[in-house]
Chain A
């Protein structure tokens, strides 16, 4: 936590109304990061709908709108008005780039600073103060102590977007040799015996990460509003950091090498490019718990040191003029 006279009051608001946002838990991680930095009394959180009233009452030094600009219900006019009246910066930290980037004109028109979860997408903001700021992990929510008890060999959880279905299908011969659990939504259960359409809460997910020998990391290739530039993401998503915080040994298919900026290949994360490469890794480590634990521990250490929301917020504040 920083010195008292350097502390700033921060209001964290949802970038889309809570009435249409089903993912408010990530906002709580951002709040946690600010609380770790400035203390409880200096941080407030609000849905977008009530942000103007709370801003006028709380009088923060900055407002951070976190989330997505995609819903048509996103109206930032009052938020901008609050910032103009209080003479404070309005910051957006968007977490769904590039999948929803076509709607980010809504933030661009009002923001003083924009932070995007994706490095490549950041290049496409026509805004003088746009920066890259990846997602992260929450120590309180995602940290799990290492354990020797594994309940499955392979684990993946997520919506069965076509690219994920394709990859899981292609490595299924390998997965079948081991105890594999695939959870989430829209999985064609007739095709793979180890898939189950069951959604998992954020906390329970970390338990699965903790209890798996290997966690498969497959990004998402599914866009809701990415027609303008058809961008491909470069930065790994939040699950990469959350799984690392839980001490998982992640198997990461390389579609971008940006991952090496966050975790070291071989010692903190395991990169693969094809089925042979994946098989080599698995055969080497499946029955080597010490090696796996070392990788998991390294990843966790790196996540604690560099990939918490606390660290991200420190990076944000280095850039903002307040």
Chain B
């Protein structure tokens, strides 16, 4: 018995009804236990899910060999039924290598496929094409019927008939196309330039006394072979119960029907007209011929009959394929890491450090590659594949069809096809999406279509908003999980000039992206809760929560000695010193505690807007950006660390670092920081943005050290993740997913080209972002002021602007960045203009 996977190889096929007809036949055939009709988006997963043992590819045109090869590896037998021979024979011969048997619609093409080739004409479907024959001549609405593309030979014949038979009731459809010469039939074209659905084609034929069967004549087209087997129309018209007059140029008819019994042929226009006249005037003879043809078609020329032939041939082919895909794996599974950046390339942060540490650990079991934008900031036009040592293996180009920023896109055919190419070229077994910045969000649809399992690690909130720290136009956390999505419209309009509904559109698509992953890895429960709040319909089974490790593989915590009371406090702020990380709060704390015996030590890259103010603070020491190996030295003499991010961190590796080094953290209660720290147990936790509370705690522990010592002793190993345990977790996850799902192929035959369209999931609009139409301000005559423009117009570029324009920009600047930064900016500019110092 066959469990059949049926695939139309032509994703956009106006003759797809043939596949439907074959589907019905398969459902009825006694040798078929089940049949699944699939498409390129689901073929591989369907083959596995339904344990199909026969892959039947139909049509042959535009075949995607990559998908077909993967499917063929799963099913124990595979056959193709080419329906466009001899016209597509050259391409079909190449494609036929994948299949055990090749069935071709054209007798003259069989030998092209060697020992695998078999002749199998198309047929008719009782469901679609059968109509009872008429018993009385009065039941026919039309005398003559023809439907077909307006090939010149057909036009000539029709014109000859019309010239000779003026009172004939003709039903004619001769749609044309841009490749065919223009023509006229001497009457209004709307009555013949129309198309008809296939079943209605047969119903109209059934209502016609005579139907013409006229092949396409390629004789003027140079070198095109002629089909030696009639196409499906012959059989469909016979099933429709109409009497056929068949042009003798139609080869091979006599293999299926008997002239004089089942049909009548004609040699030229005059012959056709004579016979038409005769049979219109001899209805009983005509009706008998129509009935004969219908009866023969029901008995011998349905798709069930064709399947009998196919299965008969197939039974002679052994199931040798079953051995192939059970072969032992001899090489490592290949994992592709899709990310925005890697260690050592420009500005990098915790994610890159994590990726690097993980990749180094996983190398013994997996072969790992990176897929990253080639440029920074990512243009969306070039990508590279790197090996795990960051050696560039190959570069690729993509195009953005509508120009603009890649951040505004949801899908792009160019990027999707490119990703398919990469997955096939490197024979990837699993994809781990670490970040989508610089990438097309639609890529997971491609890996899903190839049944390549994928994992997505949520390191920030890019899936929720393009402002992935969730900081809105006011510069503060926007809390999208508890506030109306309408605020997103307001925010994105203020920040970027986006049209209303943009966020909703983006999230709708991102939800569908989430559904393509096998696992979504959240670093913390708070991250998981945020994602689930915005995407409540995602299934819980999709998610796994697992922290991420610090780079060092050692888990031994450093022991610190008890502090001497009143001996001064060393406080560290490690990681990038930016507004997102709480820069404004830090500055206020430094300022408030300037007279305290506290040394604040900033380790990490400092954002330019803080350069000047930190220089003037005597209780602050600013150090350079550090490497992971320097962390121990940095934290050796540190008592307390401050983690005051103004956005919900997804994990915060620096928190793990400080715990590991026996440093007590003070955190804002938001995101993973609030989740991981228990107040007065393993650190201090203050209400979000309660800067004063941080000051209070520092003052308290400055003068009294026992609480600090107690908390330090509470810090346990399981507050942070070790690299070995995380490595094991990832290894197990990868192995499980690959064993269950992998469709990697033993020898890549060729590279296909999948995009959302081919997968069957088109979208109207590739972009989520559209600009609000420009609004003129009547008072200030400033057009379309976006905050990008404000960024560029510095406050000291005054020569070309009026005072009111300056004031406008100042107001916009304050709204964008806050009063503190604006003040800093004004001070900087003023001092520069006074020439008291130069900016380094």
Q: Does A86 contact B (CB under 8 A)?
A: no
Give me 20 other A-B pairs in contact (C-beta within 8 A), A166-B193, A275-B187 excluded.
A71-B764, A72-B505, A72-B509, A73-B504, A73-B505, A77-B537, A80-B537, A103-B764, A105-B760, A124-B20, A221-B195, A228-B13, A228-B760, A230-B14, A232-B196, A234-B197, A255-B196, A256-B196, A256-B197, A274-B187
A191 lies within 8 A of chain B by Cβ: no
* Interface pairs (16), CB distance under 8 Å: A78-B537, A81-B537, A105-B760, A105-B761, A119-B199, A120-B198, A126-B37, A170-B188, A170-B190, A170-B191, A234-B197, A234-B200, A255-B200, A256-B196, A257-B203, A275-B191
B181-208, CB under 8 A of A: which get 1 and which 0?
0000001111101111111100110010
Whether A231 contacts B197 in the complex (CB less than 8 A), given A126-B37, A257-B204, comes out as: yes
Contact between A72 and B16, CB atoms less than 8 A apart: no
Complex-state Cα separation, A93 to B190, whole angstroms: 32
A247 within 8 A of B: no
> Which residues of B from 737 to 762 have beta carbons under 8 Å from A?
760-762
Interface residues of A (CB under 8 A from B): 19, 70-73, 75, 77-78, 80-81, 102-103, 105, 119-120, 123-124, 126, 163, 166-167, 169-171, 221, 225, 227-234, 253-258, 273-275
Measured between alpha carbons, how far is A231 from B189 in the docked complex, in Å? Answer: 21
A169 to B189, CA, bound (A): 10
Is B537 a contact of A233 with CB atoms below 8 Å? no
Q: How far is the CA of A105 from the CA of B17 in the complex (A)?
A: 18
* CB-contact partner of A163 in B190, B196, B765, under 8 A: B190
Contact B171 A170 (CB under 8 A): no
* Residues 122-181 of B at the A interface (beta carbon under 8 Å): 128, 142, 169-171, 173
- Residues of A contacting B: mostly: loop
In the docked arrangement, what's the CA distance between A222 and B163, Å? 33
Q: Do the beta carbons of A227 and B190 come within 8 Å of each other? A: no
Chain B residues within 8 Å of A275, by CB? 187-188, 191
A257 B200 Cβ-Cβ under 8 A: yes
Q: Is B763 an interface residue (CB 8 A)?
A: yes
CA–CA, A81 to B536, complex, Å? 9
Instruction: For the complex, give the distance between the alpha carbons of A24 and B594 in Å.
Output: 66
- B508 near A73 with CB under 8 A, answer yes
For residue B296, CB closer than 8 A to chain A, the reply is no
Query: Which B residues lie within 8 Å of A228 (CB)?
Result: 11-13, 16, 760
- Whether B511 is near chain A, meaning CB under 8 Å from some CB there, is yes
Q: How many residues of B contact A (CB 8 A)?
A: 45
Bound form: Cα–Cα A274–B168 in Å: 12
Q: Which 5 A-B pairs have the closest CB atoms?
A: A170-B188, A77-B537, A120-B197, A167-B190, A256-B200
B480 interface residue, CB < 8 Å from A?
no
In Å, the complex CA distance between A171 and B187 comes to 11
Q: Which of the residues A72, A119, A169 comes within 8 Å of B765, measured between beta carbons? A: A72
> Which residues of B sit under 8 angstroms from A80, Cβ to Cβ?
537
Nearest-neighbour CB distance to chain B for A251, whole angstroms, equals 13
Instruction: Verify B762–A233 contact, CB threshold 8 A.
Output: no
Most buried by B among A81, A102, A119, A274: A274
B197 pairs with A232, CB closer than 8 A: yes
CB of A159, distance to nearest CB on chain B (Å): 16
User: Is B501 among interface residues, defined by CB-CB distance under 8 A?
Assistant: yes
Inter-subunit contact B190/A166 (CB<8 Å): yes
Residues of B within 8 A of A233 (CB): 197
A75: contacting residue among B198, B508, B762, CB under 8 A:
B508
Residues of B within 8 A of A77 (CB): 511, 537
Residue of A nearest to B37 (CB): A126
Known contacts: A71-B764, A73-B505, A77-B511. The answer to whether A123 contacts B194 by CB under 8 A is: no
Taking the nearest CB of chain B, how far is it from the CB of A162, in angstroms? 10
Which residues 565-587 in B have Cβ within 8 Å of A in the complex?
none
Q: A230 CA to B14 CA in the complex, in Å?
A: 5
Contact across chains for A123 and B12 when beta carbons are under 8 A apart: no
A73 adjacent to B501 (CB under 8 Å) = yes
**Chain A nearest Cβ from B586, distance in angstroms:** 41
The answer for the CA separation of A163 and B142 in the assembled complex, in Å, is 23
CA separation between A29 and B247, bound complex, in Å?
51
Instruction: Determine how close the nearest CB of chain B comes to the CB of A309; give it in whole angstroms.
Output: 25
Query: Once bound together, how far apart are the Cα atoms of A128 and B199, in whole Å?
Result: 21
**For A256, what are the chain B residues with a Cβ–Cβ distance below 8 Å?**
196-197, 200, 203
Question: How far, in whole Å, are A185 and B196 apart by their CA atoms in the complex?
Answer: 26
- Measured in the bound complex, the distance between the Cα atoms of B198 and A254 in whole Å is 15
- Expressed in whole angstroms, the Cα–Cα distance for A232 and B13 within the complex equals 13
Residues of A contacting B187 with CB < 8 Å?
274-275
Q: Which chain B positions have C-beta within 8 A of A123?
A: 17, 20, 128
Complex Cα–Cα for A227 and B764 (A): 13
Instruction: Point out the residues of chain B lying under 8 angstroms from A171, CB to CB.
Output: 188
Measured CB to CB, the closest approach of chain B to A170, in angstroms, equals 3
Contact of B763 among A72, A124, A221 (CB under 8 A): A72
B14 touches A102 (CB 8 A): no
Give min CB distance, A207 to chain B, whole Å: 28
The residue in B11, B191, B207, B504 that gathers the most chain A C-beta atoms within 10 A of its C-beta is B191
Given contacts A72-B765, A105-B761, A273-B171, contact A234 B199 (CB under 8 A): yes
Looking across the interface, which residue of chain A has its beta carbon closest to that of B41? A105
Residues on B with C-beta less than 8 A from A81 are 536-537
A19, A80, A232, A275 pick with most chain B CB within 10 angstroms: A232
CB B361 to nearest CB in A, in angstroms, measures 37
A123 CA to B207 CA in the complex, in Å?
23
CB distance from A239 to the nearest CB of B (A): 18
* Alpha-carbon distance A230/B16, docked complex (angstroms): 9
Chain A CB within 10 Å, residue with most, of B173, B187, B188, B204? B188
A163 touches B197 (CB 8 A): no
Residue numbers in B under 8 Å from A19 (CB-CB): 501
Q: How far is the CA of A304 from the CA of B65 in the complex (A)?
A: 54
Nearest B-chain residue to A272, judged by Cβ:
B191
Whole-angstrom CA separation of A126 from B23 in the bound complex: 11
Residue numbers in A under 8 Å from B170 (CB-CB):
273-274
The CA-CA distance from A228 to B765 in the complex, in Å, is 17
* Contact indicator A227/B12 (Cβ below 8 Å): yes
Expressed in whole angstroms, the minimum distance between the Cβ of B7 and any Cβ of chain A is: 12
Question: Does A225 contact B762, Cβ atoms closer than 8 Å?
Answer: yes
Residues 190-231 of B at the A interface (beta carbon under 8 Å): 190-191, 193-200, 203-204, 207
Residues of A within 8 A of B501 (CB): 19, 73
Which of B200, B760, B764 contacts A70, CB < 8 Å?
B764
Chain A min CB distance to B253 (Å) = 27
Mark out the residues of chain B between 41 and 70 whose CB falls within 8 Å of any chain A CB in the assembled complex. none
Listed residue (B12, B169, B764) with the most chain A CB atoms within 10 angstroms of its CB: B764
Closest to A271 in B: B141
Give Cα A253–Cα B193 distance, bound, in whole angstroms.
12
**A75 to chain B: closest residue by CB:** B508
* B12 contact set on A, CB distance < 8 A: 227-230
Within 8 A of A (CB), among B514-564: 536-537
Instruction: Across the interface, name the chain A residue whose C-beta is closest to B761.
Output: A105
Residues of A with C-beta under 8 A to B760: 105, 228
- A163 and B194 in contact, given A102-B762, A225-B762 (Cβ under 8 angstroms): yes
**Complexed CA–CA distance, A254 and B201 (Å):** 11
Residue pair A124, B16 in contact (C-beta under 8 Å): yes
For residue B14, which residues in chain A have a CB less than 8 angstroms away from its CB?
229-230
Residues in B whose Cβ lies below 8 Å from that of A255: 173, 194-196, 200
Cα distance A105–B508 in the bound complex, in angstroms: 15
Q: How far is the CA of A124 from the CA of B13 in the complex (A)?
A: 11
